Amino acid sequence: MSEQETTQNPQAPAWYVVHTYSGYENKVKDNLEKAAENNRMQNLIQEVQVPMEEVAEIKNGKRVITQHKTFPGYVLVKMIITSESWYVVRNTRGVTGFVGPESKPVPLTDDEVENMLNSRPQAEACKIVVGEEVRILSGPLENFTGVVEAIDVARGKMQVKVKMFLGREMQVEIEIDEADKV
């Protein structure tokens, strides 16, 4: 790769997407950081990120938050492209290439970087509908049942009318993933 092939200002770092073997994202991150340090290239290879998101899952009837890779098989690298930095990244174990035409690195825009590093999982299609009976999976009302009154998918919440003691009903707001169909 020659200096003329780069369209980026050689003094301005930019974010690039690197393709990796699936499941090797964290290893590639570690290897890139070590390679930058060992080759004294921290000024050229400045930051390496594996975009992660928190996902609520139900395990053994309990709601747990786990970390998932937002973009499996990809790592973000903030770097200044030179022939040396390109060579180090491209030849890091687990890296299959840069994302771009003919594997030539194309810098991300600021908006793309913001979206990739701060992405929020899209609300799953709600499998529960208004009027259905649900069981609450966690919190102070765990194992209580109620009828869904309203669902706000954008906020990830639902209104449930819960049957309390002596036949009384109380409307509560819970997370969508804190309820399961009865």
**End of a domain among 68, 92, 117?**
117
Q: Residue 124: inside a domain, yes or no?
A: no
Contacts of 130 (CB under 8 A, 6+ apart): 148, 149, 150, 151
Q: Does 34 share its domain with 66?
A: yes
Whole-number pLDDT of residue 102: 82
Q: Does 41 share its domain with 84?
A: yes
Whole-number pLDDT of residue 153: 73
In angstroms, the first-to-last Cα distance of the chain is: 61
Whole-number pLDDT of residue 58: 61
Q: Which of 58, 74, 81, 49 is nearest to 128 (CA)?
A: 58
Check if the beta carbon of residue 104 is closer than 8 Å to that of residue 18. no
CATH code of the domain containing 164: 2.30.30.30
Q: Does 139 share its domain with 109?
A: no
Whole-number pLDDT of residue 10: 53
Q: Residue 7: inside a domain, yes or no?
A: yes
Q: Does 102 share its domain with 144?
A: no
pTM: 0.61
Whole-number pLDDT of residue 112: 87
Whole-number pLDDT of residue 177: 82
User: Nearest 5°: phi and psi at 126?
Assistant: -70, 125
Whole-number pLDDT of residue 12: 87
Whole-number pLDDT of residue 59: 65
Whole-number pLDDT of residue 55: 67
Whole-number pLDDT of residue 20: 94
Report residues of the chain scoring pLDDT below 50.
Answer: 1-9, 121-125
Q: Can you give the residue range of the structural domain that contains 171?
A: 133-181
Q: Looking at the 3D structure of the chain, how many domains does it have?
A: 2
**Alpha-carbon Rg for the chain in angstroms:** 23
Whole-number pLDDT of residue 8: 45
CATH code of the domain containing 83: 3.30.70.940
- The percent helix, strand, coil of the chain (3-state, each to 5) is 25, 35, 40
Q: Does 34 share its domain with 79?
A: yes
Whole-number pLDDT of residue 56: 63
